[in-house]
Amino acid sequence: MTSWQPAEIAWDQAAGRAAAPGISGSLRTGSELSAARFRLEPGATVPRHAHPNEEFGQVLSGSLELDVGGHVSVLRAGAGFLIPRDITHAARAGQEGCVLLECYAPPRDPFPPAGGQS
């Protein structure tokens, strides 16, 4: 390798950025995928949107109401989800907020796109 980037991602030390009102996130981008960790304040909403990246998510703490193509489920800490590309989805954090881990393939960077959606 011509340059060495540590494998470890210390999310708490990574610079966060605002993704939407009540949502901040940190991002690490590779060549085939990107990973992000988001903190959502209680009730924070991810507006309805779609993107060409397949999306995997994992609820690390709290809960998330997830709407994927009109199918709504409430995911609690420990649950994951997989959203195919181009499927419209939206989300809202539960009353305790939510910490969410996500991976996108191909990479989704820059992130968030203009407009602040995630």
Residues of this chain that bind a second copy (CB under 8 A): 1, 4, 6-12, 28, 30-33, 35, 37, 53-54, 56, 58, 60, 66, 68-69, 71, 73, 75, 78-85, 87, 89, 101, 103, 105-106
Task: Identify which of 48, 40, 49 has the alpha carbon closest to the alpha carbon of residue 21.
Answer: 40
The H or E element that residue 116 is part of is: none
Residue 65 CB, nearest approach to a second copy (Å): 12
Residue 32 CB, nearest approach to a second copy (Å): 4
Helix (H, G, I), strand (E, B) or coil at 13: helix
